[in-house]
Amino acid sequence: MQLKKQIPNIITLLNLFCGCIATIFAVQGALELAALFVVLGIGFDFFDGFAARILNVQSELGLQLDSLADMVTSGLVPGIVMFQMLSKVFGFPYQVISEGSSQIDYFEFVLSSFGLNYLPLIGLLITLASAYRLAKFNIDTRQTTSFIGLPTPANTLLILSLPLILQFQTEVWISDIILNPWFLTGLTLVSCYLLNAEIPLFALKFKTWGFAENKVRYIFLFLTIVLLIVLKFLAIPCVILLYVIMSMVFKEKS
């Protein structure tokens, strides 16, 4: 019986494990690999709650552990990824100081950093906004069957889609948009706002399979599949936008 209670927590820890690996890849600039492990982590994040409901072993520990895991996979990683994206267009004054370097190397590093561009650190606002949202979610009784503000996994997929689009869809106009400093800065601020905005968003949880009571969800899933087939990775930001718009239009029915 004790093992049964721990199954959802083990799945949650797998989410955290994937988030830790994704963090390592993101720091190293391997953003596509970071995205892969984030997707795996988000998958575990979905199944831990599913397992808890099926096994009827929901607990306060599981709720807190889930938020801690999400803070890494869907909070820290997207902030680092946006930092890396902004570094591509702004540059950033950091360097790896090898082990055994003398003290004068550190001193020169600090001196050389003054006056240089620290704007890529704006990307870490996503991490701060995600932390605030996750803390608020745990004490907000309104978010039991739906969401208020964009869930952190959805926001993470939005941010992680950028390096994937650049890598696999090489049209010049796409790169020009994504690598525009105003676009990246604006997206960062919009992302932070959506995470904590008082916007009701429907959840993709099916209590029944009937079409009438789940019409919005079925339509959304159908359009998502169509967009993914047609636009590939470029579909991800379109799907997030569609999710927000449909939630606002059909908010009384969701």
**Full set of structural domains in the chain with CATH:** 2-91+121-204 (1.20.120.1760)
| The model's pTM | 0.86
Residue 169 token pair: 């869809």
Q: Is 147 left (phi over 0), alpha (psi -120 to 50) or beta?
A: beta
| Higher-scoring residue by pLDDT: 73, 49 | 73
Query: Could you identify the residue written with the tokens 């006056």?
Result: 115
Provide mean pLDDT across the span 173-181: 93
Whether residue 97 is predicted with pLDDT greater than 60 in this model: the reply is no
pLDDT score recorded for residue 206: 64
Gap between the Cα atoms of 41 and 46, Å rounded: 9
Phi, psi of 147 (to 5 degrees): -120, 150
Alpha helices in the chain (DSSP H): 2-27, 31-55, 60-71, 77-90, 103-113, 125-139, 152-168, 172-178, 181-196, 215-231, 235-249
- Split at pLDDT 50, 70, 90, the class of 51 is confident
